[in-house]
Structure 1
Amino acid sequence: MSRRCFVVEFKEPLGYGDGLTFQERAFEKVSAGEADGILLLLEHKPVFTVGRSGGRENLLVDERVLEAYGIELYETNRGGNITYHGPGQIVAYPIFNLSKWKKDLPWYVSCLEEVVIQVLKDYNIKAGRKPKYRGVWVADKKIAAIGIAADRWITMHGFAFNVRVDKSHFELINPCGIKEFSVASLDDFVEDVDFREVVKKVKEKFSLVFETNFKKELSEGMS
């Protein structure tokens, strides 16, 4: 199937609220049929987000500590528990009309995981899934978190892939509500990892996994 899909890459970290605004704009364009899919790739300024499953009980410090660290706290409509976003982490927000692919949310989440798994494979890192927990894992360490939302089969939110992230921020929460496992970052395994190279690989793997060529041209208001 031929699909009209676009990628928008942001060079500077965005506040979480700005990220939501761009998702909403992309959602409007996809809903209006101006595109079948819009992939937003970005970094966020430091923020903890709480999903529909809750998660405030997994915040281990009070808001005064967050203020001292310069970390925002946001409640959002994605699935999942509490998670962290920050510089050095690739956040992918695919705003896709799944009617143009497959109306199957578990399939879609598996595809998101596969994008990260394929990127890590390029760095000779064996990654996989855990039956109980969504996301991408290297052994017992989570390297990418996933939380999505969908309305009329159009997706929002997506994944957060740790590339060279400040892992000390994760110590302020039980990431995704999980206490028995820890987190990993690509720079744990790859010395002098090139962040922009990893972004490029993420774009390539999205094209491969979703069998779609993403164009860069898009009308005003998205970047």
Structure 2
Amino acid sequence: MTRDVAIERKAAEVLDIRDLGLADYREVLSLQQQLNQQRQAGWIGDTVLIVEHPPVITLGARRSANKLLIEPDELTRRGIDVVEIRRGGGATAHNPGQLVFYPILHLQHLGLGASEYVRTLEAIGIDLLARAGVPCERRKGFPGLWTDGRKIASIGVRVSRLVTYHGMAINVCNDLAIFDTMVPCGLDGVEMTSVEKEAGRPCDVDSLKTELVPLLRERMGGSRP
């Protein structure tokens, strides 16, 4: 093995975590799809994108769970984009102040099945929110995280040829009014909450990013193409 090849292999073993800041949902979706294909081909190692989005509602593959309470034209007038995508689950929303991360991981190389992967995302969220002083729990049959019956984090994933994309969104200090325009994940009567609301004190996304990165490395590690 040449020195250059050895260096490339070593680099691929390290989880590549990219902070995209505030970025358009459609542009980040296109990037995810590109990275997913590159990961399938073995051109890159496992990657995680961390991002906040301008206001957007995404509609998942389960059409019965895509319930808008306001006409799309009115959403557009309010500056809220609407995007149909192919991840699991129903409608959800993103806006600034929400911490979103999209892992592009090869599940077979990590020794994970799809259900185990979702539980791994939940475990990362539980650990992260505990550090912010907000205890959370899973709810069987409903991916995501809950605190005192209120939903604080949503999960929607897609797996293509054993490689993941889409991911997890955690409400930190975002405007929760966006969830009044739709039925989150198709769950009637669900109340959405945030870290700031539950903790009763100011909290920002950047402070949680600092805690998230080591949790991603610990739980997801990295693997070779």
Unmatched tracts of structure 2, length 5 or more: 1-9
Task: Output one character per residue of 1:177-198: Cα deviation in whole Å (capped at 9) or x when no partner.
Answer: 0113211111113312132110
Runs of 4+ in 1 over 4 A off after TM superposition: none
Say whether the 8 Å CA contact 1:143–1:185 is kept in structure 2.
yes
Q: CA deviation at 1:57?
A: 5.3
Please tell me whether the aligned partners of residues 89 and 160 of structure 1 are also in contact (alpha carbons under 8 angstroms).
Answer: yes
Alpha-carbon contact 2:65-2:187 (below 8 Å) kept: no
The match for 1:199 among 197, 205, 209 is 209
Indicate the residue corresponding to 1:97 in structure 2: 106
Letter in 2 for 1:61: I
The structure with more helix, counted as a fraction of residues: 2
Q: CA deviation at 1:42?
A: 0.3
- Give me the whole-angstrom Cα distance separating, in 2, the residues matched to 1:161 and 1:57: 20
Distance in 1 (alpha carbons) for counterparts of 2:173 and 2:136: 17
C-alpha distance in structure 2 between counterparts of 1:55 and 1:115, whole Å: 29
SS of the residue aligned with 1:129? strand
Q: Which has the larger radius of gyration?
A: 2
Task: String of CA shifts for 1:108-151, please: whole Å, max 9, x gaps.
Answer: 00000111100111122210111131101112111110000011
* Counterpart residue type for residue 154 of structure 1: V
Q: Hey, what's the Cα distance between the residues in 2 that align with 1:200 and 1:42? A: 13
Q: Is the 8 A contact 1:45 1:85 kept in 2?
A: yes
Quote the residue 1:62 is aligned against.
71
**1:163 aligned to 2:176?**
no
Q: Which residue of 1 aligns with 2:196?
A: 187
How far apart in 2 are the matches of 1:123 and 1:56?
A: 30
CA RMSD of aligned residues (A): 1.7
* CA distance, structure 2, for counterparts of residue 194 and residue 60 of structure 1: 29
Aligned to 1:145: 154
Per the alignment, residue 89 of structure 2 pairs with 80
The C-alpha deviation readout for 1:137-166, integer Å capped at 9, x for no partner, is: 112111110000011110010011111111
Q: Across the two proteins, how many residue pairs are aligned to each other? A: 211
C-alpha contact (below 8 Å) 1:36/1:100 kept by paired residues: no
Structure 1: which 5+ runs fail to align? 215-223
User: Is the alpha carbon distance of 1:30 and 1:108 closer, same or farther for their aligned partners in structure 2, counting shifts above 3 Å?
Assistant: same
Match of 1:43 in 2: 52
